Amino acid sequence: MVSCVNLNVTRDKNHILHDLTLEIQRGVIMGLLGPSGSGKTTLMRSIAGLQVIESGQIRVLDLVAGSKALRHKIAYSTQSASVYSDLTCIENIRYFASLYDHNEKTPEQILEDVDLSNNAKQMAESLSGGERARLALATTLVGAPELLILDEPTVGLDPVLRVQLWRLFNKLAEQGKTLLVSSHVMEEAENCHDLILLRNGRVLAQGTPSALRARTGKSRMDDVFINLIEEA
């Protein structure tokens, strides 16, 4: 689905991603974990085709990242909830949906998915932080994306909502979609099928949660991560 080979990214003379090589299979939820500043957002922007890269190769669905043909197939929600504050929730979704040739779901269904049906006519400006984050997530469900790149979609949400969203992510993966989900909360790793641990722009480890646990002999993901850092 996605493959990066020897990816290097430099921003403002800062070398941010170092020789990154990784592979993401179709239909999985790939967790991208790492401390703040480790390069998660930069990697996601690179895969989305929004980032100028220094060297290396990124292929998405057998096309070079950023190809025009991918625009109907990739969805990306940025870390800062990017929605129009001066439109209502439903208007935001309708607008983004109208940019795609084919939509799998109606705007109403999409709001239902993120539990915002009751806020449909509310201006985005007046949404709470968590509601706004869910609206931004909802804008990635328009069209018929095959790859969803979600930058910290569950930050600032309460446990009930988090569980609900992870259920939605699982449902999307069952439908054959691929999800790349970043987080700096290690416990979220439990919910992912596969994990990439990033540190200082390098891949510290890649594997399933259970494989990483077995490798380190730790049970809590926090400890797994610390153990892997010490090992490196």
Ligand X SMILES: Nc1ncnc2c1ncn2[C@@H]1O[C@H](COP(=O)(O)OP(=O)(O)OP(=O)(O)O)[C@@H](O)[C@H]1O
Kindly list the residues in this chain that would bind ligand X in the complex (CB under 6 A).
11-12, 14, 16, 34, 36-42, 79, 184
Per CB under 8 A, the list member of 78, 164, 170, 206 interacting with other proteins is 78
Nearest of 100, 109, 106, 108 to residue 145 by alpha carbon: 100
Distance set, CA 97 to CA 47, 65, 72, 106, 108 (Å): 22, 22, 11, 8, 11
Region from 85-93, 173-181, 183-191, 201-209 binding other proteins, contact rule CB under 8 A = 85-93
Residue in this structure with the two tokens 């797994």, named with its chain if needed = 224
Tell me if 229 contacts other proteins by CB under 8 A: no
Are the C-beta atoms of residues 3 and 22 closer than 8 Å to each other? Answer: yes
Residue 52: partners with Cβ closer than 8 Å, 6 or more residues away: 9
Closest approach of other proteins to the CB of residue 77, in Å: 8
Residue 155, binding choice from ligand X, Mg ion, other proteins, none, Cβ under 5 to 8 Å by partner class? none
x/- map, 70-89, Mg ion, by CB under 5 A: ---------x----------
x/- map, 32-71, Mg ion, by CB under 5 A: --------xx------------------------------
Helix pair angle (221-231, 209-216), 10° resolution: 60
Residue 37, binding choice from other proteins, Mg ion, ligand X, none, Cβ under 5 to 8 Å by partner class? ligand X
Q: Which is nearer to ligand X, 98 or 200 (CB)?
A: 200
Residue 153, binding choice from Mg ion, ligand X, other proteins, none, Cβ under 5 to 8 Å by partner class? none
Residue 31, binding choice from Mg ion, other proteins, ligand X, none, Cβ under 5 to 8 Å by partner class? none
Nearest of 58, 57, 2, 47 to residue 26 by alpha carbon: 2
Tell me if 101 contacts other proteins by CB under 8 A: yes
The C-alpha atoms of residue 147 and residue 140 are separated, in whole angstroms, by 10
Tell me if 11 contacts other proteins by CB under 8 A: yes
Tell me if 133 contacts other proteins by CB under 8 A: no
**How distant is the alpha carbon of residue 138 from its chain centre?**
13
* Tokens of residue 66, six digits: 């950023």
Residue 199: partners with Cβ closer than 8 Å, 6 or more residues away: 34, 35, 38, 229, 232
**Residues within the interface to other proteins (CB under 8 A):** 10-12, 48-52, 66, 71-72, 74-78, 80-88, 91, 95-96, 98-101, 123, 139, 143
